[in-house]
């Protein structure tokens, strides 16, 4: 190192200059010799891709093995592909395949718990992943060459001896419920999900999705039975690629899986896709967005359709050329128009075009997209469009082979679905031969511009035209069905009479109906203690509640000041990052909080069915339990038998892990303008504390600044 430094110090400055000048000169000569991009009209023929050598063997138990040696790095990857999938799960247990695929790994084996597997893999610098999708399952492992024996032992253990520990099943179900609770938060995924259901139908295995009830129906016995039916060696394709000797690897796999008995698997009938072409206009209202998400299309095709190469070229022209030029370059309506003629291996995919645009250009954007789909079925594409589309596909073809993992996984998939292993090469050859006539013929045959299904997700109040100008509108309900709860007690004349009597006593204890009806608004300052995943967080809060439907909350948090404003049907939030529309789920929760507020419930008794449920220990004290039900929902109200003051409420809510039972215990009642109101609230969910609110100051019927409820 010292000699190198001395050498660098002894190089003279003129030498550096000469080197720099020579380099600049060389690049200048090179650049001057190049043609301008517009002058390049032809491209050299692409180099032929060199495929790796693949050794294929079948073990005695029926497992098919693909071995690909690659000695570039001292690593080995292994992947098992299992013929199993969510298409085979019962309709009342949707989520079974997903949970089975997760707990196959996390639940441990007969010799190692899931946590022990985690530690062992961590020390090896290895990983094991498992999962089950729509029509296949997988087990994947990556490790260093020196750990191959231990790795094969672990992988075989996971495949052959999973125990599906109950605690890991419970955790997987919580994660799935959490996903259900948040599934309408992201507008992109929500649009894709509902469009998929439009095409296949919500009852189809290709278009359905889990609900709380279907997840709750799943038991460990179901998971064990699902695994036992489909996980057999003769139902698996196994591939290994990396730094190994094929003959030696074959012997290791035979030793590891040789004792796993094969079995005959009776598969349910493949789901049928019986699509009826039709024109429909569908809509999902999302008032918390200022842009619309649009998707339109119909059923797609299968990959082995003879027209597929022409459809690949057509799709490139329609989506990446024409849609892009019209929607973005010419009209400036969107950043990312997209399209895809979807094709599946074993069932038709989905043809769809999609975009995102400001609410005020929604219907205009839909009309433009409809026009482009029709246009490509009416007239031939240009020579320039054809060449550009083919060049785009062919010039990116090499990226199908830039990693061994891509190559091997693709070969496995072809073998899994019964496609020839050189399918991608045949596809490339087909694309090279596509003509303008082929594109027009394929478009006329496979696209139905007059029978497209349209889905728009957005705020209809801001659209440029009513969506009905496109046709009769079907509004889709995306509300999440609540899980089956406890059976609601049957109301009787006696329970209703006693409920009303106890409710009226409590109303009198809080100040009486006359005093409560005079309360137009309530203002409060409070200290809030919020429980988070990282511990408790202190916040200062100021709230103004205007009955019946407006709330202003200002919070001072460690992350900065925040505001939440509910003004009737409108809602927005202001954080250090800026202003944003309030999510529908948050708006509903704030409306429900107002519904449960004692002033609101006492002054709107005529809107509730009130029944006495019984006596219950609530908040550590005996309380009378009432069930209040109205059009907006229901909740339980608890009363102190000695003072008749409310001791709190309980209700069903949706937390980060899905639906949960929330209890709010009210205490420290004080007189506020002739009305008794609680100054302390402790909220908990399933017995775990969520928050504690301590009111510092409270007033009623203040002069409210109307600007608080005006959008900035």
Q: What is the pLDDT of residues 78-93, one digit of tens each?
A: 999 999 999 999 999 9
Could you tell me the maximum CA-CA distance found in the chain, to the nearest angstrom? 106
Query: 19 falls in which pLDDT band (50, 70, 90)?
Result: very low
pLDDT of residue 48: 63
State percent of the chain over pLDDT 70: 92
Place of tokens 């090896």: 124
Q: Which residue has the higher pLDDT, 646 or 577?
A: 646
Q: What digits encode the pLDDT tens for the residues 675-710?
A: 999 999 999 998 889 999 999 999 999 999 999 998
- Is residue 114 over pLDDT 70? yes
Which stretch of 438-452, 538-552, 571-585, 647-661 has the lowest confidence by average pLDDT?
A: 647-661
Q: What is the dihedral of CA 181, 98, 138, 400, to 10 degrees?
A: -40
Distance CA 279, CA 100 (A): 39
Distance CA 110, CA 87 (A): 28
Distance CA 486, CA 590 (A): 24
pLDDT of residue 47: 60
Select from 614, 660, 671 the least CA-distant residue to 637: 614
- Is residue 27 over pLDDT 50? no
Angstrom distances, CA of residue 160 to CA of 101, 108, 164, 328, 392 = 13, 11, 12, 53, 45
Select from 87, 136, 94 the least CA-distant residue to 271: 87
pLDDT of residue 178: 87
Could you tell me the two tokens for 329?
């370059």
Q: What digits encode the pLDDT tens for the residues 601-639?
A: 999 999 999 999 999 999 999 999 999 999 888 999 999
- Kind of pairing between the strands at 453-458 and 280-285: parallel
**Residue 358: is it exposed, middle or buried by C-beta count within 10 angstroms (0-12/13-18/19+)?**
middle
Mean pLDDT in residue range 517-543:
91
Query: 402 falls in which pLDDT band (50, 70, 90)?
Result: confident
| Helix or strand (DSSP H, E) at 190 | helix 187-200
User: What domains can you pick out in the chain, each with its CATH number?
Assistant: 55-182+211-257 (3.30.830.10), 280-475 (3.30.830.10), 493-709 (2.50.20.10)
Select from 228, 95, 112, 116 the least CA-distant residue to 169: 95
- Kind of pairing between the strands at 291-299 and 348-358: antiparallel
Q: What digits encode the pLDDT tens for the residues 151-172?
A: 999 999 999 999 999 999 999 9
pLDDT of residue 40: 52
- Is residue 15 over pLDDT 60? no
pLDDT of residue 17: 28
Task: Write phi, then psi, for 418 (nearest 5 degrees).
Answer: 80, 25
Which stretch of 137-141, 475-479, 706-710 has the lowest confidence by average pLDDT?
A: 706-710
Mean pLDDT in residue range 520-526:
96
Could you tell me the two tokens for 689?
């504390």
State percent of the chain over pLDDT 90: 77
Query: 569 falls in which pLDDT band (50, 70, 90)?
Result: confident
- Kind of pairing between the strands at 236-242 and 64-69: parallel
Tell me the angle at which helices 436-446 and 383-395 cross, rounded to the nearest 10 degrees. 90
- Is residue 255 over pLDDT 50? yes
Using alpha carbons only, give the angle 563, 657, 190 rounded to the nearest 5 degrees: 75
Task: Write phi, then psi, for 50 (nearest 5 degrees).
Answer: -90, 115
Q: What digits encode the pLDDT tens for the residues 484-502?
A: 766 678 889 999 999 999 9
- Is residue 45 over pLDDT 90? no
Angstrom distances, CA of residue 101 to CA of 82, 174, 263, 312, 544 = 11, 15, 20, 33, 49
Could you tell me the two tokens for 342?
């979807």
Mean of the per-residue pLDDT values of the chain: 90
Could you tell me the two tokens for 652?
């069903």
pLDDT of residue 632: 84
Q: Are 64 and 79 within 8 A, CB to CB?
A: no
Could you tell me the two tokens for 600?
């609101």
pTM: 0.80
19: three-class secondary structure by DSSP: helix
- Is residue 12 over pLDDT 60? no
Distance CA 378, CA 382 (A): 13
């Amino acid at each position: 190192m010292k000699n190198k430094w001395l050498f660098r110090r002894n190089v003279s400055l003129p030498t550096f200059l000469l080197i720099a000048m020579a380099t600049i000169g060389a690049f200048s000569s090179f650049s001057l010799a190049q043609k301008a991009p517009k002058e390049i009209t032809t491209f050299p023929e692409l180099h032929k891709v060199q495929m790796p050598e693949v050794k294929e063997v079948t073990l005695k138990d029926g497992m098919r093995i693909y071995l690909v040696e690659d000695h570039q790095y001292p690593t080995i990857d292994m992947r098992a592909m299992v013929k199993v999938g969510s298409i085979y799960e019962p309709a009342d247990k949707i989520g079974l395949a997903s949970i089975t695929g997760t707990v196959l790994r996390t639940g441990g084996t007969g010799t190692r718990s899931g946590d022990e597997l985690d530690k062992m893999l961590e020390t090896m610098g290895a990983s094991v992943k498992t999962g089950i999708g729509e029509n296949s399952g997988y087990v994947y492992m990556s490790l260093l060459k020196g750990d191959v024996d231990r790795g094969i032992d672990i992988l075989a253990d996971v495949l052959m001896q999973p125990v599906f520990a109950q605690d890991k099943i419970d955790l997987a179900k919580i994660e799935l419920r959490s996903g259900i609770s948040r599934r309408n938060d992201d507008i992109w995924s929500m649009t894709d999900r509902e469009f998929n259901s439009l095409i296949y139908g919500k009852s189809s295995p290709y278009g359905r999705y889990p609900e709380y009830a279907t997840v709750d129906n799943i038991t460990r016995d179901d998971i064990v039975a699902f695994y036992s039916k489909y996980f057999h060696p003769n139902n698996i394709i196994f591939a290994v690629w990396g730094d190994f000797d094929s003959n030696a690897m074959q012997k290791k796999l035979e030793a590891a899986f040789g004792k796993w008995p094969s079995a005959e698997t009776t598969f349910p009938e493949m789901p049928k896709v019986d699509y009826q072409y039709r024109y429909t206009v569908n809509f999902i209202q999302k008032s918390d967005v200022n842009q619309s998400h649009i998707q339109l299309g119909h059923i797609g095709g299968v990959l082995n359709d003879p027209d597929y190469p022409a459809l690949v070229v057509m799709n490139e022209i329609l989506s990446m050329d024409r849609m892009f030029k019209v929607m973005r370059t010419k009209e400036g309506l969107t950043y990312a128009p997209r399209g895809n003629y979807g094709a599946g291996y074993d069932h038709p995919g989905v043809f769809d075009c999609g975009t995102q645009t400001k609410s005020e250009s929604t219907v205009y954007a839909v009309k433009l997209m409809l026009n482009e789909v029709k246009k490509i079925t009416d007239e031939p594409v240009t020579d320039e469009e054809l060449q550009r589309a083919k060049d785009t596909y062919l010039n990116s073809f090499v990226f199908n082979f830039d990693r061994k993992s891509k190559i091997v996984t693709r070969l496995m998939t072809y073998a899994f679905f019964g496609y020839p292993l050189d399918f991608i090469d045949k596809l490339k050859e087909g694309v090279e031969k596509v003509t303008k006539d082929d594109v027009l013929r394929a478009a006329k045959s496979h696209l139905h511009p007059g029978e497209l299904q349209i889905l728009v997700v957005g705020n209809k109040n801001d659209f440029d035209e009513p969506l009905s100008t496109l046709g009769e509108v079907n509004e889709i309900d995306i509300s999440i069905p609540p899980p089956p709860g406890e059976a609601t007690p049957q109301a009787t004349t006696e329970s209703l009479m006693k409920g009303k009597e106890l409710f009226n006593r409590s109303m009198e204890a809080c100040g009486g109906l006359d005093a409560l009806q005079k309360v137009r608004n309530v203002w409060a300052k409070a200290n809030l203690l919020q429980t988070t995943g990282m511990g408790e967080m202190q916040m200062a809060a100021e709230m103004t509640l205007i009955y019946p439907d407006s709330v202003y909350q200002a919070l001072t948090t460690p992350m900065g000041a925040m505001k939440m404003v509910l003004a009737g049907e409108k809602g927005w939030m202001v954080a250090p990052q800026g202003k944003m529309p309030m999510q529908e789920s948050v708006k509903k929760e704030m409306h429900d909080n107002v519904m449960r507020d004692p002033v609101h419930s006492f002054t709107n008794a005529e809107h509730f069915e009130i029944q006495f449920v019984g006596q219950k220990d609530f908040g550590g004290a005996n309380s009378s339990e009432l069930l209040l039900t109205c059009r907006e929902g229901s909740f339980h109200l608890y009363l102190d038998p000695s003072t008749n003051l409310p001791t709190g409420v309980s209700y069903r809510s949706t937390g980060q892990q899905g639906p949960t039972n929330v209890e709010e215990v009210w205490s420290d009642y004080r007189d506020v303008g002739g009305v008794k109101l609680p100054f302390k609230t402790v909220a908990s969910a399933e017995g775990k504390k969520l928050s504690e609110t301590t009111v510092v100051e409270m007033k009623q019927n203040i002069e409210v600044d109307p600007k608080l409820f005006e959008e900035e």
